[in-house]
Chains A and B, each alone.
Chain A
Amino acid sequence: MNNRYLWLFVAFALLIVLLAVGLTRDPREIPSPLIDKPAPEFVLPRLDNDQPFTPKDMAGRVWLLNVWASWCASCRDEHPLLVDLAQKKLLPIVGLNYKEVRGDLSLDATKLALEAEKREAAARANLWLATHGNPYTLSILDLDGKVGIDYGVYGVPETYLIDETGIIRFKQIGPITPETLEKKLLPLIAQRDQKTED
């Protein structure tokens, strides 16, 4: 076919290919480098009794680590889903409360002493859990976000599925949606459970 306008198609096709490649390159869609790597170690105080908690305490179990904060609006969207999940008692869910005080820009934490900040954070976290329901087997406080950095948290909420050997199997950036729960998280959990039973 000899048509002097055919080059338009070529240009258009190139543009579409570019845009399609661009879609796969979405910076928010890049899998976490933490996947299939050991969950970074840390020691943080528990919200309920101030006892230290480390991921080692969960060894031998498949568990979820959910990063949240009371100032985080998307956490509110996600929360009912977590409460539902907790009721199914499929696996323990650990809540990592991320920069409860410092992350809230409407407060100024720079002048607060560490103890005072911890009290404030615990009060705010407890109030939030009392209002919205508590899906967490236990919660821990990461006041300065250092653990968050080790986990590569770049937006709250985030959720990690950690298996019985302490390896991160799945990471959700942003709120868990019913779709990701159904299609990714639950199948992974089922698969893991089977392995533990074997």
Chain B
Amino acid sequence: MKTRHQRLLLIAAALAALALIVALVFSALKENVAFFYSPADIKANKAPKNKLFRVGGQVEVGSLKRQEDGVTVRFIVTDGIECVPVQYKDVLPDLFSEGKGVVAQGRLNDDGVFVAQEVLAKHDENYMPPEAAQALQNAHAEGIGRSRNRCRIPGA
């Protein structure tokens, strides 16, 4: 009798632990997933406020500007239709370059500037991060026959 109680207790404890872990995994997943948005999505207010997400596209040529402190940089990410200003306070990856694809992860601030915590460029010279390529492709799908908005470069 005693061993049977013990086993029941064990099974109950194991099930409880399992439920706890499953809950933990899914809540962690829910909170730490970064969705991907294109500059066009952001302009259309599809991107969340105060939540981490990713933006991708091409770095607008001529938009990279270093701020006073020398470390903070600003540049514009475009999908060929819309533009989003991005601010990043760290060293850019080696492969970051104007006119090339980029993916940045961070949040949108109240002024509509995307404050990046992380900037990624793929380790390959010719190819873009696929998400960035996708953003450009989608933009083209919608933008055929429409004139492209040129990005206004702040301070230029």
Interface of chain A: mostly helix, strand, loop or mixed: loop
- Would B144 and A27 count as touching, CB distance under 8 A? no
Q: What are the residues of chain B within 8 A of A32 when measuring CB–CB?
A: 137, 140
A73 at the interface (CB under 8 A from B): yes
> Do A154 and B144 touch (CB < 8 A)?
no
Per-residue B-contact encoding for A69-86, CB less than 8 Å = 1, 0 else? 000111000000000000
Do B80 and A149 touch across chains, with their CB atoms under 8 A apart?
A: yes
Question: Please, which residue of chain B has its CB at the minimum distance from the CB of A34?
Answer: B140
A103–B126 Cα gap in the complex (Å)? 9
In the assembled complex, how far is the CB of residue A135 from the closest CB belonging to chain B, in whole angstroms?
20
Residues on B with beta carbons closer than 8 Å to the beta carbon of A34? 140, 144
The residues of A with any CB-CB pair to B shorter than 8 Å are 27-28, 30, 32-34, 37-38, 40, 72-74, 99, 102-103, 105, 144-145, 149-150, 152, 154-156, 174
- Which residues of B pack against A, CB within 8 Å? 58, 61, 80, 97-99, 101, 125-128, 130-134, 136-138, 140-141, 144, 148
Listed from nearest, the 9 A-B pairs whose CB atoms lie closest are A33-B141, A27-B130, A154-B133, A155-B127, A154-B128, A152-B140, A155-B126, A33-B140, A149-B80
